[in-house]
Amino acid sequence: MSVGRFIALEGGEGAGKSTQARLLAEALRERGLEVVLTREPGGTAGGEAIRELLLDPKGPGWDPEAEALLFAAARSDHVARLIRPALDRGAWVICDRFIDSTRAYQGGGGGLPDDAILALHRVGSGGLLPDLTILLEASSDEIAARLSRRDGGESDRIGGREAEFHARVAQAFRRFADAEPARFARIDGSGPAEATHQAILEAVAPLLPGKP
């Protein structure tokens, strides 16, 4: 039986995570692999229900502690019902955001200690970490242009926070990648989608079946 692999895509809003997750899933399926493409918050019925609670711009709003607990609860359901069973049967899981988003947004952005977030992750999800975390980065001007083309100024409850919050999030992602170079691949997402896709395929290649 093939070995299941877990790839997460991380980065700020508009970095191209969803686009690249789709392209990567298609490329891996073309190689005959079973691929589960999923996202956070979400991925299961319970996870999607919690997503609504967290991101609805008309929702009540949460402080960083409550937010971290809700993200951990959504992730716990997602890992138990979708991600672990897929990995156990040898599928590849491509996940649009995972634990490093909570570390960056509720930790780096919201001020919660990293060890508290990782403790919640151990309780909720057995501390599961991706085999590879792709951190997509693009300049703030490029991202602003993309999001304005797509959303015309509308954003969700977390995406709409002030620029300083998002700068702290980006800095936290960079810190995590520098601290764990074996788990992270930092990839420039500012060029054409196809160029970014090729860079991601190179980063994923060592995990493909048949590689030592």
Residues binding ligand T5A (CB under 6 A): 11, 13-19, 39-41, 55, 71, 97, 101-102, 105-106, 146, 150, 156, 158-159, 192-193, 196
**Around Cβ 34, how many Cβ atoms within 10 Å?**
14
> At residue 35, what are phi and psi to the nearest 5 degrees?
-125, 130
Q: How far is the CB of 195 from ligand T5A (least distance, A)?
A: 8
Q: Which is nearer to ligand T5A, 71 or 92 (CB)?
A: 71
Q: How far is the CB of 15 from ligand T5A (least distance, A)?
A: 4
Q: How far is the CB of 146 from ligand T5A (least distance, A)?
A: 4
Q: Which is nearer to ligand T5A, 39 or 186 (CB)?
A: 39
Q: How far is the CB of 125 from ligand T5A (least distance, A)?
A: 12
Structure tokens, 208: 């493909």
Q: How far is the CB of 53 from ligand T5A (least distance, A)?
A: 12
Q: How far is the CB of 97 from ligand T5A (least distance, A)?
A: 4
**Residue the block writes with tokens 């971290």:** 68
Q: Which is nearer to ligand T5A, 23 or 86 (CB)?
A: 23
Q: How far apart are CA 51 and CA 71, in angstroms?
A: 8
Q: How far apart are CA 69 and CA 110, in angstroms?
A: 13
> Residue 27 burial by CB count (10 A; 0-12/13-18/19+): exposed, middle or buried?
middle
Q: Tell me the pairing of strands 184-188 and 6-10.
A: unpaired
Q: How far apart are CA 76 and CA 125, in angstroms?
A: 5
**Helix residue ranges, H only, 6-113:** 17-30, 45-55, 64-78, 84-88, 99-102
Q: Which is nearer to ligand T5A, 16 or 130 (CB)?
A: 16
Q: How far apart are CA 168 and CA 181, in angstroms?
A: 20
**Around Cβ 67, how many Cβ atoms within 10 Å?**
21
Residue nearest to ligand T5A (CB): 105
Q: Which is nearer to ligand T5A, 55 or 201 (CB)?
A: 55
Q: Which is nearer to ligand T5A, 119 or 208 (CB)?
A: 119
